[in-house]
Amino acid sequence: MSRFDTSSLFQLTSMRFRLFLREPEAIFWTFIFPILLAMGLGIAFRNRPADVLQVGATTAQLTQALDADKGLTAATMDEAEGTRELATGKILLLAIQRADGVAYKFDDTNPDARLARLLADRAIQTAAGRQEPVRAENQLVHEAGARYIDFVVPGLLGMNLMGAAMWSLCFSIVEARQKKLLKRMVASPMPRWQYLSSFLLSRLILLVIEVAAFLGFARLVFGVPFRGPLWQLGLLCVLTSLAFSALGLLVSSRAKTMEAASGLMNLVMLPMWILSGVFFSASRFPVAIQPLVRALPLTAAIDALRGNMLQGMNLGQLAMPVAILAVWLVAPFAVSLRIFRWR
Amino acid sequence: MTDSRTTATQSAGSGADSPSLLLRGLRKAFGDVIAVDGLDLEVARGECFGLLGPNGAGKTTTIEICEGLTAPDAGTVELLGLDWATAAAALRQRIGIQLQETQFPDKLTVEETLRLFRSFYRRGLSVDESIKTAQLEEKRGARVGTLSGGQKQRLAMACALVGDPELLFLDEPTTGLDPQARRHLWDLVERLKQAGRTIILTTHYMEEAERLCDRVAIMDHGRTIALGTTPQLVASIGAEHVVEFAVAGHEAGGAQVNAALLTAIPGVQSHRVDAGLHQLSVCELHTAVPLIFAALDGQGLHLSEFRTHSATLEDVFVSLTGRTLRDE
């Protein structure tokens, strides 16, 4: 037998690897799903020639004035019909001709409708002969790195690192505990630290493939920028993955059934899906809960990934999120080693 | 046979004179339930020792304390002259364990599973040898999920054997297996016995204990209630034979059988009734049986069943507890 064959750490790690590769669903969720998600978002938020907003007007004259603006497309309709169209979202704004001027009917909580209000008013005032007191010209920027897809790719990467690390650890450990395999393993001379290390090792190997596939796709298809040092990006991915592995270990350290573990997992991950700024900036949440939002490991991970990829920040500038991640790595790991149930 | 045992003993290294297993005053309670209640046991090297008892007798708790998986509340445990507190790592290398309900990963093959377990031991059998011992050659490349119950159990045995243990623990090795798979596993254990391994097994099948074990401890409510070889235990109840009979219409009449007349017959030691089936412990079968017939005839009873068998461990258990092993 070769040296590898007799190394229990190697055997444990290759067991993890084999079990993963023989689970087609796991491969889908780890490798394919994040790419599909990025593709879907990329298509949905691709850079369209600036949005054309649908509006309505009660007279042909108003319609003509509105249509003159490149940002608007207008149709003529009476007020009742226009109200119906507004309610169903077919138009964003209805311009109503009044004896003493124009009334705009729109929903001011909808940003697109507020935009339509500005454009419509400008178009109508211009058609009525308004002269702008200040001359203005537009310089348009369609630069990579400032688009939604650039914003969302680091978010998806962070979310994927979290899900893969937590689920793979939790599922395997709780299943082994439920099937009394864990008990059988500790009844053998297996070093316990090697059992836990085998999870981290196989995770790190998969991480390389997973991150390379996802970021490679984002780079080739969407031209997402990598402005920070790549090795630091790699390091951030490893740190993120280890922090979530520690959290996964903590979640699975006592649970005896898959049901109990799944509930705990969702309890831990759901707040982060919502609060950590995967799809929109976490700074949109109220100031009162910002300290909580900032302390979450996924927020720290995504902040660091965005800082590296989009702003080209180095590790020194990312000290805060890196420190938060490090705390999330050490604390859950220390706690779970104390409370881990081996049988 | 004796020779190979000697070899196994010599290879044991430290503490070669000490017994394989020594338990003194073992106690373990789970909450209010006392699982093990002051147990003393000693198992010699090369011996196949059985813990026999009904479910809940404390067999599994006892064996898991021996295996170092459960800590006792009181008492001492010594394996191969070592104890768990000071020599756990060494002991793990020297014992083999088969637990009651381990499910190995379905998606690993037999060979991969054994290679994994082999890697935990500094010395032991080769993966090939352990596959051969467990007669799993044809299933070497098969995934564990496709194995039958008997094959899975043989894989569990192979995993227990792969470290070439001096002391082998088997917890209910044949529970849940069909009769053919059970016999197959018994053959395997017998070959291990012949190779001189010390084996400690638990079972609630008396025929398993009778067939495999050199000595048996009968357990009930966390204590040993009898200890010895099967012939010794059977002799201890004072009668080598059991006569069982039922009389026609017993459901209606109830106590029509006059037990005093039966126990007065020379050679009949005791009488008990269980669900209409009368059992007599008998030592002089050839003279007692005609007298039993005569006595029953004299009471005007008609037999609906009548049989005799040599007394078994089951009869020992019944005579000691008044219950059968299968009573829950």
> Which residue shows structure tokens 């003393």?
B40
Percentage of residues in chain A with pLDDT exceeding 90?
48
Among chain B residues, CA nearest to A188: B92
Q: For strands B215-220 and B223-228, give the pairing.
A: antiparallel
Tokens at A126, concatenated: 């211009």
Q: What is the mean pLDDT of residues A3-8?
A: 76
What mean pLDDT is predicted for residues B157-177? Answer: 92
Residues of B in contact with A184 (CB under 8 A): 97, 99, 102, 104, 159
pLDDT value at residue A183: 93
pLDDT of residue B253 exceeding 70:
no
Task: Kindly determine whether residue A187 and residue B163, on different chains, have CB atoms separated by under 8 Å.
Answer: no
What is the tens place of the pLDDT at every residue in A296-315? 999 999 999 999 999 999 99
Between residues A143 and B109, which one has the greater pLDDT?
B109
SS (H, E, C) B201-220: EEECCHHHHHHHCCEEEEEE
Say whether pLDDT at A32 is over 80.
yes
Q: Tell me the mean pLDDT in the region A103-121.
A: 89
Least Cα separation, residue A164 to chain B (angstroms): 20
With a cut of 70, say whether residue A144 has pLDDT above it. no
Alpha carbon distance A285, A289 (integer Å): 7
Q: What rounded mean pLDDT belongs to chain A?
A: 88
Q: What is the pLDDT of residue B9?
A: 39
- Whether residue B326 is predicted with pLDDT greater than 70 in this model: the reply is no
Q: So what's the pLDDT on residue B8?
A: 41
Residue A40 has pLDDT above 90, yes or no: no
pLDDT at B16: 57
Token pair for A201: 């090792």
Query: Among B34-48, B154-168, B254-268, whose mean pLDDT is lowest?
Result: B254-268
pLDDT of residue B13: 44
Using CB atoms, pick whichever of B108, B117, B118 lies closest to residue A19.
B108
pTM of this structure: 0.77
The predicted model gives A180-208 an average pLDDT of: 91
CB pair distance less than 8 Å for A189 and B121: yes
Between B159 and B302, whose confidence is greater? Answer: B159
> Are the beta carbons of A243 and A328 closer than 8 angstroms?
yes
- The greatest distance separating any two alpha carbons of chain A, rounded to the nearest whole angstrom, comes to 96
Query: Cα separation of A12 and A3, whole Å?
Result: 14
Residue B141: left if φ>0, alpha if ψ -120 to 50, beta else—which one? alpha
Mean pLDDT of B230-253: 79
Give pLDDT, residue A282: 86
> How does residue B116 score in pLDDT terms, banded at 50, 70 and 90?
very high
The ipTM, to two decimals, is: 0.81
Residue A96, both tokens: 């109503």
Q: CA A120, A125, A126, A130: dihedral to nearest 10 degrees?
A: -150
Confidence class for position A47, pLDDT limits 50, 70, 90: low
Nearest residue of chain A to residue B122 (CA atoms): A6
Instruction: For tokens 């001189």, name the residue.
Output: B196
Report the distance separating Cα A211 and Cα A34, nearest Å: 10
Give the mean model confidence (pLDDT) for residues A139-155: 77
Residues on chain B bordering chain A, Cβ-to-Cβ distance under 8 angstroms: 67-69, 89, 92-93, 97, 99-105, 107-108, 112, 115-122, 126, 159, 163
Q: SS3 sequence, chain A?
A: CCHHHHCHHHHHHHHHHHHHHCCHHHHHHHHHHHHHHHHHHHHHCCCCCCCCEEEEECCHHHHHHHHCCCCEEEEECCHHHHHHHHHCCCCCEEEEEECCEEEEEECCCCHHHHHHHHHHHHHHHHHCCCCCCCCCCCCCCCCCCCCHHHHHHHHHHHHHHHHHHHHHHHHHHHHHHHCCHHHHHHCCCCCHHHHHHHHHHHHHHHHHHHHHHHHHHHHHHHCCCCCCCHHHHHHHHHHHHHHHHHHHHHHCCCCCCHHHHHHHHHHHHHHHHHHCCCCCCHHHCCHHHHHHHHHCHHHHHHHHHHHHHHHCCCCCCCHHHHHHHHHHHHHHHHHHHHHCCCC
Residue B322: the pLDDT is 75
Q: What number is the average pLDDT over the span A7-24?
A: 90
pLDDT band per the 50, 70, 90 thresholds, residue A244? very high
Q: Which of A166, A167, A169, A196 is nearest to A342 (CA)?
A: A196
Between A42 and A281, the more confident residue is A281
CA distances, B207 to each of A2, B30, B135 (Å): 44, 30, 23
Q: Which residues of A are less than 8 Å from B68 in CB distance?
A: 187
The pLDDT of residue A26 is 81
| Chain A interface mutation, best of B120, B153, B167, highest count of A Cβ atoms under 10 Å | B120
Question: Is pLDDT of A263 > 70?
Answer: yes
Question: What pLDDT does B170 receive?
Answer: 94
CB-based contact A293:A276 (threshold 8 Å) = yes
Complete DSSP assignment for B72-101: -SEEEEEETTB-HHHHHHHHHHHEEEE-SS
- Report, as an integer, the average pLDDT of A4-20: 87
